[in-house]
């Protein structure tokens, strides 16, 4: 159940103890709740301070949208697929499998040397591919020179909290899972539109200019939504291509494998929805859609496992749930707090990087994913609990 955050114009419903929300995040949420276009806000239990708008916030606006409430990694999300394999099918030494995944899928700032044609990757849906790329020419003119880079980055992981994992569920079945978004092209589009929004006269007196909005039936809103939906589609296709490449790696190593239908969900995006007869634009920044029957993915950290969930369709939360465990400390603080030895201890039993370059992703920098799940039993039910045995980080 939720609690109300006091001192806001629009209702801000919180699926955690309001007193546990860091002061900077609580201030952001109150600023959001004060905006005149906001119908309501749902705050997920993984809530934490974010750039521009709070991570773990679901915001329903009438005739308006704030690009910062989506974030710069437009369309970031998760994909997962259950395989026919069991734990007994995996080799004792998982190091070669991790290296094969890293060879097939570029991570960090790297991209493919040559554009990967999705039509040549088994299992990837290429419907509408040519129309999708034709839409690039209609995007913000500031990104016109980035088509080549965006093409080579399709099917790549990125860095930060993005990952590729081989996991086991409680029945010993093997799953593949990944987390990534719209790479550099989504970031470039988002930053350009945020800059435009901040200069619009109707945003001059906002409590936080980072929350600047576009209004319906304006050229600025039309341009943003065009670019936004293209970037969301790019992120979806990026994950699909990566998953296809990932499946090929596993198929090469273990030819007997077959795959179920994948599960995929955005957690930084905009959707047109209706609640109480009111049409709204819902931004989910660090939240997944959890409509009745919707399958979703809630990851923990690189050492604690993840959950496959099914939505309960709770309208109080605008049919949403958390997107993960959520950070409990910043990356900078994590690097000061933990050592490579701590990382090795907290990721014991997982084939993964254990060097200083990924200390900011140490499990201790994240909230307890089991506690986060316990706070949203009215939003989702658990379908499967997964624990990683291989984790690839950017």
With a CB cutoff of 8 Å and minimum separation 6, the contacts of 11 are 4, 33, 40, 41
202 annotated as belonging to a binding site for a ligand: no
345 annotated as belonging to a binding site for a ligand: no
Residue 324 labelled as part of a binding site: yes
- In 3D, which of 260, 268, 197, 206 has the Cα closest to residue 234? 268
Query: Does the annotation place 211 within a ligand binding site?
Result: no
Q: Is 299 annotated as a binding residue?
A: yes
Whether 112 is catalytic is no
Dist. CA 387–CA 347, nearest whole Å: 11
What is the Cα gyration radius of the chain?
Answer: 20
* 162 annotated to a ligand binding site: yes
Report which of 157, 170, 183 is spatially closest to residue 306, judged by C-alpha positions.
170
Is 123 labelled as part of a ligand binding site?
no
Confirm or deny that 235 is annotated as ligand binding: no
Is 165 labelled a binding residue?
A: yes
Count how many Cα atoms sit within 13 Å of the Cα of residue 43 in the half-sphere of its side chain: 30
Q: Does 323 count as an annotated binding residue? A: yes
**Cα–Cα distance, 312 to 142 (Å, whole number):** 41
179 a known binding residue? Answer: yes
- Listed residue (15, 325, 373, 319) closest to 163, CA to CA: 325
CA distance 347 to 345: 6
> Tokens 């995996």 sit at which residue?
90
Q: Is residue 285 annotated as involved in ligand binding?
A: no
Name the catalytic one among 48, 193, 266, 323.
Answer: 323
Closest CA to 52 of 230, 179, 213: 213
User: Judging by DSSP bridges, how do beta strands 12-14 and 38-48 pair with one another?
Assistant: parallel
Catalytic residues: 323
**Which residues are known binding-site members?**
73, 161-165, 179, 267-268, 299-302, 306, 323-326, 393
**Which residues are known binding-site members for Mn(2+)?**
73, 162, 179, 267
**Which residues are known binding-site members for GMP?**
161-165, 267-268, 299-302, 306, 323-326, 393
């Amino acid at each position: 159940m939720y609690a109300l955050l006091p001192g806001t114009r629009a209702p801000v419903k919180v699926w955690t103890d309001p007193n546990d929300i860091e002061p900077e995040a609580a201030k952001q949420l109150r600023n959001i709740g004060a905006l005149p276009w906001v119908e309501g806000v749902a705050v997920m239990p993984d809530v934490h301070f974010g750039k521009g708008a709070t991570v773990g916030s679901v915001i329903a606006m009438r005739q308006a949208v704030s690009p910062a409430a989506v974030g710069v990694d437009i369309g970031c999300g998760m994909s997962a697929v259950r395989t026919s394999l069991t734990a007994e099918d995996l080799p004792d030494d998982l190091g070669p499998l991790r290296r094969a995944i890293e060879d097939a899928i570029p991570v960090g700032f790297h991209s493919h040397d040559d554009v990967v044609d999705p039509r040549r990757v088994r299992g990837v849906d290429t419907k509408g591919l040519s129309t999708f790329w034709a839409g690039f020419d209609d995007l913000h003119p500031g990104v016109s020179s980035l088509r080549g880079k965006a093409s080579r980055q399709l099917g790549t992981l990125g860095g930060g909290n993005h990952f590729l994992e081989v996991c086991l569920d409680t029945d010993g079945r093997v799953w593949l899972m990944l987390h990534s978004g719209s790479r550099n092209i989504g970031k470039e589009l988002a930053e350009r539109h945020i800059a435009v929004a901040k200069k619009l006269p109707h945003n001059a007196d906002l409590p936080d200019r980072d929350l600047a909005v576009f209004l319906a039936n304006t050229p600025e809103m039309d341009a943003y939504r065009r670019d936004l939906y293209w970037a969301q589609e790019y992120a979806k296709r990026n994950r699909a291509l990566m998953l296809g490449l990932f499946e090929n790696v596993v198929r090469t190593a273990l030819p007997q494998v077959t795959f179920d239908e994948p599960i995929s969900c955005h957690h930084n995006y905009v959707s047109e929805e209706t609640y109480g007869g009111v049409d709204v634009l819902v931004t989910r920044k660090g939240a997944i859609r959890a409509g009745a029957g919707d399958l979703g993915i809630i990851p923990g950290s690189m050492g604690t496992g993840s959950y496959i969930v099914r939505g309960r369709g709770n309208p109080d939360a605008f049919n949403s749930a958390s997107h993960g465990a959520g950070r409990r400390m910043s990356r900078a603080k994590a690097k000061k707090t933990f050592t490579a030895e701590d990382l090795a201890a907290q990721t014991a039993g997982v084939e993964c990087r254990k060097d200083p370059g990924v200390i900011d992703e140490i499990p201790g920098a994240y909230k307890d994913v089991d506690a986060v799940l316990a706070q949203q039993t009215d939003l989702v039910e658990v379908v499967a609990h997964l624990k990683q045995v291989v984790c690839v980080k950017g």
